[in-house]
Structure 1
Amino acid sequence: MKQALPRVGSLRFRLLAGSLVWILAALTLSGFFLADLFREHVAARLHAELRVQLDQLTANVEFGEDLRPRLLSALSDPRLQKPYSGLYWQVDGEGAHGIGHLRSRSLWDTVLTVPADRLDDGQVHIHRIGGPDGATLVMMERVVRLADHPGLPLRLIVAVDEQTMEGPVREFVGLLVLALCILAAGLAAAVFIQVWAGLAPLRRLRRGLADVRDGRSRALEGRFPDEVRPLVDEFNAVLGRDAEVVMRARTQAGNLAHAVKTPLAILANAAAAEDSALARLVAEQVGAARRQVDYHLARARAAAAVQVPGVRTPLRRALEALLRVMQRLHPDRVLSVEWRGAAGDAVFRGEEQDLQEMLGNLLDNACKWAASRVDVKVSVSGQGLVVSIDDDGPGLAPEVREAVFERGVRTDELVPGSGLGLGIVNDLARLYGGSVVLEASPGGGLRAVLSLPAG
């Protein structure tokens, strides 16, 4: 699935950019939300653990005979017995903050310094304080009064290293980022596939238009989604109307030419019946008028045909038909044709009648001037057709070769025959985006090279 990078102004770029920006924004916000939610969950678990430790400490503390606090039994968590393990407890007398009358083995020689805030009996406060080795601790404290000595309140403190919470949070965030990146890549791939599939009808539409332009089809064909179908129908309707207008214009041009040729034929017949200077002048002007009518009729027909998409003509069929005609018109000439490469299957992107006009005039000129033979070579070059017609006649001087393309210039006054001449061949070729060039033939005569667009 090879695709060029989308241009900034393209529909594909807009769809991709909009979708990707939305995906990134949604996943980023989701990541922050989930990380914060997990942090709150871990904090709640940590606070619950501290409350359990604080409740155990409350249940195990008592006053000794010397009125100093002591524990009835050690707390259950083994971390409290390991120095600087991250879990600590401490017992202070109310109003004697940071004395550490009694503390866990895990504190070793460190005394926790707690804020001097006021607590009601049984009330729990949570703070962040400094701990051993510069660690930050999450601390929970409570003031209690024992039943046997209600006048001696005790401040009970449990604390845990904040890294106990931050470690799992960091690990979760790392996994979350990885998961969101994988999800983003998957969603981005899905967006690319969705955009590619969604724009597939437009690609089919473009290929259909190319087929119409190149003459492979006369209308847009195939199944299109409901959103594109109205456009296809309207375009086909425009093509149909254009073809109808062109056909009507060509018919009118033919009718006009017929209407003009009829009185010209009457004048020519009348002039032929007389042998006078006036009759010869009339015959000459009637002939000139006929050539003008034929010339402009051919131009109008070709100009109209060029505007009609979907017109294609097999080259072999048209050329072989012309060669048979030329063989009958010039039986004393040897005609040969050579099809090079894939030229035998080549198709001309244009009207068959116009192709016959161009090839017919070139073949007729070659046969009239040839001494004995005419050679035709057909090849395909890039997106075009190349037809070379060589004769073994006298040829043309280089300075005359361009002049013969001008309308009204004739070099065959002494040679019988008729036709539109090289001027109309040149005009028709140009209308189709091609060209015709005259050059010296290797055999000593003239070579005409006709280049036309291929279908």
Structure 2
Amino acid sequence: MRRGWPRSLGLRLLLGSLLWVLLAIALSALLLSWLFEQHLTRQLDAELDRHLHQLIASLEQPADGPLQLRRELSDPRFSRPYSGLYWQLDSLPEHAGLPAVQLRSRSLWDITLPVPDGSGIAPGSPVSQSLPGPQQTQLYARALHATPVRPEQPALLLRVAADQALLDQPLRQFNRVLLASLASLAGGLLLAIFIQLRLALRPLARLRSELRAVHGGQRQQLLGDYPSELQPLVDEFNQVLQDNTASIERARTLAGNLAHALKTPLSVMHNAAQANDSPLAQLFRKQLAQTRQQIDHQLARARVAAALRSPGQRTAVEPVLQSLLRVMRALHAERALQLELQPPSDELAFRGESQDLQEMLGNLLDNACKWASQRVQVSAHAAQGQLQVEIDDDGPGIAEAALEKVMQRGIRADERTPGSGLGLSIVNELAQMYQGRLQLQRSPLGGLRASLRLPLASD
């Protein structure tokens, strides 16, 4: 994962879209503002050029007098002081030997526009200029260099100017409206992108939910139709699940066949040893019993390993407990034990094989019934996202120092009690293979509490 990038695919797409939208909006704002400014400038140029041509048409040169304005220009702003629209006519300084000429509009009042040392303007073509104006304003002007008709007349510089605010104010107003409009557009686009991303990523959320259901034991395959971009992935994943399930079933069948092949000669040897009561025959029977237990134990380990790789495993807890309690009541009928089950508040399910759950709980219940005086109590509930089953008895219990020791293979708390010492060890190993654990502690009933934690199948 590249540093600095968010892990969320939706957030990546949203941030990428946000950057592109903001960049496009910014470029659009600059371009539209520039185009509008050019439009305003062309309009003002056209207006000032019209006044400039009208000024030229209004000039007259009497034969016996100075240059003068035959009539006032048509726009009344030229007659109102500091109105924002001005004109001025000057003879150029390079013609100092000829009589100087200067005419101004009344709107300039007592202000004279500065005359440059050299016009820098080609005769006959109006150009734009920026000039200081009355009352510390800035003017936008169109200037024209007019060549004299007769040699005794100086060259003239005609200028018509308008307040720069005529350009700046409309442009500012346009920019405000433009930014507000583009901001609204950007918000609408981002909202549309967000909604589109939610709709586009919804199949991924549904796929994640289906995967969670497979992992939690509710499904054995991914269900539903997906977009064409995801459907091949779903089909391939389902095919992998099918192949994995088939491989596990083949491994179970081979293990079962091997166990059956081993148990048959073991049974024959056990029956043969039963006919003889010699010390050698007794040793033989004992070794055969341990060998059978080891086979059962290793088969259980192989079954758990297969179950962990197989999706869709789910076993309801309460029916298994009810069934085991019925068996225990029958096995220990002569002792008249009081076996109690506190019904779970929820429909709890174990994420694993039913046979493994029966073996673990059966060993713990059998152990509790062996040591109980009168009462065994069983409860099951969900704790920290796991299934927790607690089995309490009112027997003598086990000393604190021996709690860990009794879960070791072949160790019994009391050698006088029948058993091989493998029950708690098998339960502990199976629980650990399911990423669970078995914990022994003092019971509130006075005896031993066996607390078994296992993976919980999600709803």
Judged with a 3 Å threshold, the aligned counterparts in structure 2 of structure 1 residues 118 and 371 are, in CA distance, closer, same or farther, namely closer
1:254: how far off? 1.5
Contact 2:410/2:420 (8 A) holds in 1: no
- 1:283-432 to 2 correspondence within 5 Å? 283-331=285-333, 332-342=336-346, 345-411=347-413, 414-415=416-417, 421-432=423-434
1:271: how far off? 0.8
- Does structure 1 residue 72 correspond to structure 2 residue 70? yes
- 1:122-271 to 2 correspondence within 5 Å? 122-142=124-144, 152=153, 155-271=157-273
Structure-2 separation of matches of 1:151 and 1:10? 84
Contact 2:318/2:344 (8 A) holds in 1: no
Structure-1 separation of matches of 2:120 and 2:292? 121
Structure-2 separation of matches of 1:66 and 1:273? 162
Aligned equivalent of 1:3: none
Aligned equivalent of 2:437: 435
Aligned equivalent of 2:51: 53
- Does structure 1 residue 109 correspond to structure 2 residue 110? yes
1:170: how far off? 2.2
Q: Secondary structure at the match of 1:396?
A: coil
Instruction: Tell which deviates more after alignment, 321-330 or 150-159.
Output: 150-159
Instruction: Tell which deviates more after alignment, 20-29 or 302-311.
Output: 20-29
Judged with a 3 Å threshold, the aligned counterparts in structure 2 of structure 1 residues 198 and 100 are, in CA distance, closer, same or farther, namely farther
Structure-2 separation of matches of 1:52 and 1:452? 93
Cα displacement string for residues 30-49 of structure 1 (whole angstroms, at most 9, x for unaligned residues): 22111111111111010111
| Structure 1: stretches of 5+ with no match in the other structure | 1-5
Structure-2 separation of matches of 1:394 and 1:91? 123
Judged with a 3 Å threshold, the aligned counterparts in structure 2 of structure 1 residues 156 and 417 are, in CA distance, closer, same or farther, namely closer
Structure-2 separation of matches of 1:210 and 1:70? 96
Structure-2 separation of matches of 1:376 and 1:309? 29
Return the letter of the residue paired with 1:111: T
Cα displacement string for residues 421-441 of structure 1 (whole angstroms, at most 9, x for unaligned residues): 111111111111211122222
1:27: how far off? 1.8
Cα displacement string for residues 98-154 of structure 1 (whole angstroms, at most 9, x for unaligned residues): 96532111111222234433777754343333332343322223456899x896465
1:183: how far off? 2.2
Cα displacement string for residues 8-67 of structure 1 (whole angstroms, at most 9, x for unaligned residues): 244334323332222222222222111111111111010111012112222322235752
CA RMSD of aligned residues (A): 2.7
Judged with a 3 Å threshold, the aligned counterparts in structure 2 of structure 1 residues 87 and 394 are, in CA distance, closer, same or farther, namely same
Q: Secondary structure at the match of 1:199?
A: helix
Structure-1 separation of matches of 2:43 and 2:278? 126
How many pairs align? 447
Aligned equivalent of 2:281: 279
Judged with a 3 Å threshold, the aligned counterparts in structure 2 of structure 1 residues 446 and 75 are, in CA distance, closer, same or farther, namely same
Aligned equivalent of 1:82: 80
Contact 1:80/1:88 (8 A) holds in 2: yes
| Structure 2: stretches of 5+ with no match in the other structure | none
Return the letter of the residue paired with 1:279: A
Q: Secondary structure at the match of 1:341?
A: coil
Contact 1:219/1:239 (8 A) holds in 2: yes
